[in-house]
Amino acid sequence: MGYEGMPRVVIGIDFGTTFSGVAWALENRLDDVEVIQMWPGDTSQKVPTVFDYCKGKIRWGYQVDDTSKSIKGIKLLLDESQIYRYGPSKEASNLLQTMKKSPISAALQTINIQFILTVPAVWSDKAKDATMQAACLAGIPNQDLFLVSEPEAAAVYAIQSIQPNTISEGDCVIVCDAGGGTVNLITYRVNKTEPLRLSEITEGTGAICGSVVLDERFEEFLTIRIGKERYNQLPRTSKAFALKYWQDYVKPNYQGPLDTDDFADVGYCIPIPGIPDIPNVNVANGVLYMDSNDVESIFRPVLRHIEELVTDQRLKAKQTGNSTKVCSPSSSVTQSLILTENYQAIVLVGGLGASEYLCKRLQKASQGVQVMQPQNAGAVHRGLEGNQVDNRKARCHYGTKCRRPYSPKFHSQEKAVWCKLEESWKVENQMSWYIHQVCHSQVRRFNCRGTAHKIDFYRVVDNFHNLKFTDTLSFCLAEEAPEASNATVSNLCELETDLSRVPKELFEKRQNSNGKVSDSHVRIVALRSGIQRNILWNCQIKILDISVTNLLAHIARSE
């Protein structure tokens, strides 16, 4: 279906651990971003990322009451490396499907739509691919769906919001996206302010130390305070009521321990319907009394973890030789920014990023830093304005196994293998690395299909026998990529190439002592950008500088 002359609609989906949101805009109306606020059961800019099954039907978001056996935290399951396990990952597609249907009617099937979905910066390629699969199962067309890292989406909008008086060319900004489940950080250099152009100067870091961890620690505190047996005997409705009160009134309003003795200690009352009086642990009349030390014991390790992540990003930025400026977000977008002497900037965004206590902790760790938090419609702006990051840091090494000519200087004799076709000694199980970790990956001006990394290699065939090949794309997270495959090298996916339809006259003909062999010179073009789900492959056969294009290779996911 043609879309000529029709404005593109960009829909941003912030798929969060605890809350999610959707916003949309037309590409020719950049300043008019509409945030979806009408959800089944309530009106809000965010909807709970939770659902359950009731009589064979899906209830989600505000339709789910606090006492039901609901499924939560499904986002975290999309990354198998995470230690927190919640509900079945396949259910992510069910929730995404309901979110997609809410702002989009059937009539929009005839409109040019692009979906932008945010993902944590530290997610692996496999986790990103799982996210894409869930979205596609929800009915979002694969060709219209792109991923953007959560801190990048936040950075684009936040930096634009605090310009022009605070950020200038050459400044470096640390983005800390403290959300419901994960906390993601990354550092950018501002190459240009108008239009905004950024470069990654550190790789993304992060951990599961978001708001949901505070909820878990509260439930652990409650279990220990009243006793595990009493806690297990409480009705589900009582537990849910206590947790809801904690989430709505205590957690967002806690400002940390008072710095002076002039004020009395602040107490907190947690209603727990049906609980008997337990005088020795301050439970009376169905209420648990907590003092600020109790709440501090819940917050302290989580915020300390976030502080360590921020400190680590600042050190990484300094190691690159870049000075940085600190802008930390608060509730007011118009609030002026106080700059630190070492010119480091921290933009604090996300649900937990709104915590005044977290703001105070980071201010104390970085003297003179003001905190600011603009509205997060970053995913939509990322799709509207295009790719504003000129350079990215590769998170790992990418390459394939290969055979190299045997050299007594570098290889032991027992590793030498005779190649009958080329009639020479080779060494197998070697690695050819095409993209190296933390190297700068140049990114072209926005193009949905990403940036091309051209990789040339050749394969020898015997008189055109067996022109179907399977190569494994590998990755390595080690600081130094090994020359030969070892335990640090893992498989990412398989590349299946069929050259049987390539005209035979385009192959280079050579002859050995047993007859003819042919070389197939192959160029792999790996396309990758910050909003694409994986590495796409496009094979070109190069014979004597003649190229045959549009020979597409097939990706088979490795288990």
Q: DSSP characters for 139-162?
A: T--GGGEEEEEHHHHHHHHHHHHH
Amino acid 394 reads A
In a domain, 257, yes or no: no
DSSP 280: G
pLDDT higher than threshold 50 for residue 538: no
Non-local (6+) Cβ contacts of 216 within 8 A are none
pLDDT (average), residues 113-134: 81
**CA distances (Å), origin 171, targets 143, 145, 150, 359, 449:** 35, 32, 21, 21, 29
pLDDT (average), residues 505-519: 64
Both tokens of 531, joined, read 């909003």
In a domain, 342, yes or no: no
Non-local (6+) Cβ contacts of 542 within 8 A are 456, 521, 522, 523
Does residue 87 or residue 503 have the better pLDDT? 503
Three-state SS string over 361-381 comes to HHHHHCCCCCCCCCCCCHHHH
In terms of phi and psi (left: phi > 0; alpha: psi -120 to 50; beta: otherwise), the region of 363 is alpha
Q: Which of 416, 333, 28 is nearest to 157 (CA)?
A: 333
Q: Which of 373, 379, 279 is nearest to 334 (CA)?
A: 373
Q: Which band of pLDDT confidence, cut at 50, 70 and 90, is reported for residue 411?
A: confident
pLDDT (average), residues 119-133: 79
> Alpha helices, DSSP H only, in 180-271?
211-226, 228-233, 236-245
H or E stretch including 301?
helix 292-319
DSSP 20: E
Indicate the average pLDDT of the chain.
72
Whole-number Å distance between alpha carbons of 142 and 147: 11
Whole-number Å distance between alpha carbons of 76 and 339: 35
| Three-class secondary structure of residue 199 per DSSP | strand
Amino acid 158 reads A
Task: Look at strands 389-393 and 440-442 and give their pairing.
Answer: antiparallel
- How many C-beta atoms lie closer than 10 Å to residue 335's C-beta? 14
With pLDDT > 70 as the criterion, what percentage of the chain qualifies? 66
Q: Which of 128, 148, 168 is at the close of a domain?
A: 148
Q: Which band of pLDDT confidence, cut at 50, 70 and 90, is reported for residue 165?
A: low
Full domain range(s) for residue 131: 9-148
pLDDT (average), residues 6-13: 79
pLDDT higher than threshold 90 for residue 557: no
Q: Give how many domains the chain has, as a whole number.
A: 2
Whole-number Å distance between alpha carbons of 360 and 351: 16
Q: Which of 101, 116, 148 is at the close of a domain?
A: 148
DSSP secondary structure, 396-461, as one string: SEEEEEEEEE--TTTS-GGGEEEETTTTEEEEEEEEEEEE-TT-EEE--S--TT-EEEEEEEEEEE
In a domain, 480, yes or no: yes
Amino acid 438 reads V
Whole-number Å distance between alpha carbons of 333 and 322: 26
H or E stretch including 306?
helix 292-319
Q: Which of 9, 34, 33, 36 is nearest to 22 (CA)?
A: 36
pLDDT of 302:
95
pLDDT (average), residues 433-461: 58
pLDDT higher than threshold 80 for residue 547: no
CA dihedral 258, 259, 264, 267 (to 10 degrees): 10
Q: Which band of pLDDT confidence, cut at 50, 70 and 90, is reported for residue 246?
A: very high
Does residue 546 or residue 302 have the better pLDDT? 302
Chain-centre distance of CA 87, in angstroms?
19
In a domain, 153, yes or no: no
- Check whether the bond before 195 is cis (ω within 30° of 0): yes
Q: Compute the radius of gyration of the chain from its Cα atoms.
A: 27
Q: Which band of pLDDT confidence, cut at 50, 70 and 90, is reported for residue 388?
A: low
Range with top average pLDDT, 121-135, 149-163, 184-198, 296-310: 296-310
Please give the biggest Cα pair distance in the chain: 96
Q: Which band of pLDDT confidence, cut at 50, 70 and 90, is reported for residue 534?
A: very low
pLDDT higher than threshold 60 for residue 189: yes
H or E stretch including 134?
helix 125-137
| Three-class secondary structure of residue 441 per DSSP | strand
Q: Mean pLDDT lowest for which of 134-138, 167-171, 237-241?
A: 167-171
Q: Which of 117, 133, 148 is at the close of a domain?
A: 148
pLDDT higher than threshold 70 for residue 481: yes
Q: Which band of pLDDT confidence, cut at 50, 70 and 90, is reported for residue 517?
A: low
Whole-number Å distance between alpha carbons of 255 and 247: 14
In a domain, 458, yes or no: yes
In a domain, 90, yes or no: yes
Non-local (6+) Cβ contacts of 122 within 8 A are 182, 184, 204, 205, 206, 207
Chain-centre distance of CA 91, in angstroms?
19
In a domain, 192, yes or no: no
pLDDT (average), residues 344-350: 75
Whole-number Å distance between alpha carbons of 503 and 505: 5
Please state the φ and ψ torsions of residue 118, each to the nearest 5 degrees. Answer: -85, 145
Looking up residue 405, the CATH number of its domain turns out to be 2.60.34
pLDDT (average), residues 165-170: 72
Whole-number Å distance between alpha carbons of 287 and 230: 14
Looking up residue 108, the CATH number of its domain turns out to be 3.30.420.40
In a domain, 281, yes or no: no
